[in-house]
Structure 1
Amino acid sequence: MTITVQALSGHWSLVSFVYRWPDGRELAPLGHARGQLLYLLEDGLPGRMAVQVVANERPPFDPDGDASLAAHFRSGFAYGGGWSLQKDVVHHEVEIASLPLWEGSRLSRQVRFVGDRLVLSTDEPNPQLPQKGYETVLEWYRP
């Protein structure tokens, strides 16, 4: 599939979310996870985007327990804002996020299609794993 704004637009569901090292090792930071990704167009051009990813298995929630609140905060992420596409890189202009340090930032992701699956990846470190040397890979399908 050719990488265009029309090919990216719409609703995507998460297949997998992993960190991958050059030696082939992988880590699924949320274990089995589920998520949704939306790319909306406005007059045929990139408009708004939103993403949410959460762990399938989360401990019981205790609204009065700080440890429970922290565990649930660490069990996923979400953000939204504008988006643009430059060749095979999609840029997310983050306006609102579950991680405040992402707000006002640009998160760029390499885009490729594998069959009918959308694969977004980056080698930028993130707050969960700040050291370098791995790639974050999220694979999506259209439900």
Structure 2
Amino acid sequence: MARAKQTGSAALPGTWKLQSFTTEDLATGEKTDLFGAHPCGYLNYGPDKRMYAILLEENRTAPADLVPTDAERIALFNGSCAYAGTWSVEGDVVSHHVDASWNESWTGTIQLRRFRIDGKYLHMTTLPGRNPVTGKECISELVWVKVE
């Protein structure tokens, strides 16, 4: 068992492209593709133990001008999630120690993700908690594919 955990952790470094992002509302059991069926995003785990994640809603609308209007800015913000920090692994849980984020309420927190690697796919599940986009108690499942 210890060997499998070591292999999983050793396989994390590199860049991963987001394939799906499904959120389950714990109160209702309803599952939604929070950022659409085909979200965009990248997750990187560096060998220096630095990480970043950026998740974007599919089909985002570009602002009419270089400088977005307030309404355009809100729509762009609501369709995104981004943060960076350091990472560590214990067993099947990766900890993201956030030191910069799109939503300042995450800065200084530790975001825990259960993970497993299946070939070129990284499957992650958040622990139950309040979703920073919807405000509801939920669990999110994300699937990433390794960028070769």
Percent of aligned positions that are identical: 30
Alignment of 1:1-143 (within 5 A): 2-4=4-6, 5-20=9-24, 25-31=30-36, 32-42=38-48, 47-62=49-64, 63-122=67-126, 123-132=128-137, 134-143=138-147
Query: Matched residues in 2 for 1:12 and 1:64: separation?
Result: 29
> Which structure has greater helix proportion?
2
Q: Which ranges in structure 1 are unaligned for 5 or more consecutive residues?
A: none
Query: Matched residues in 2 for 1:48 and 1:65: separation?
Result: 34
Contact 2:25 2:136 in 1 (8 A): no
Are the structure 2 counterparts of residues 64 and 130 from structure 1 closer, same or farther at C-alpha, using a change threshold of 3 Å? closer
Q: Pairwise CA RMSD of aligned residues?
A: 2.0
How far did residue 125 of structure 1 move?
1.9
In the superposition, the TM-score normalised over structure 2's length comes to: 0.84
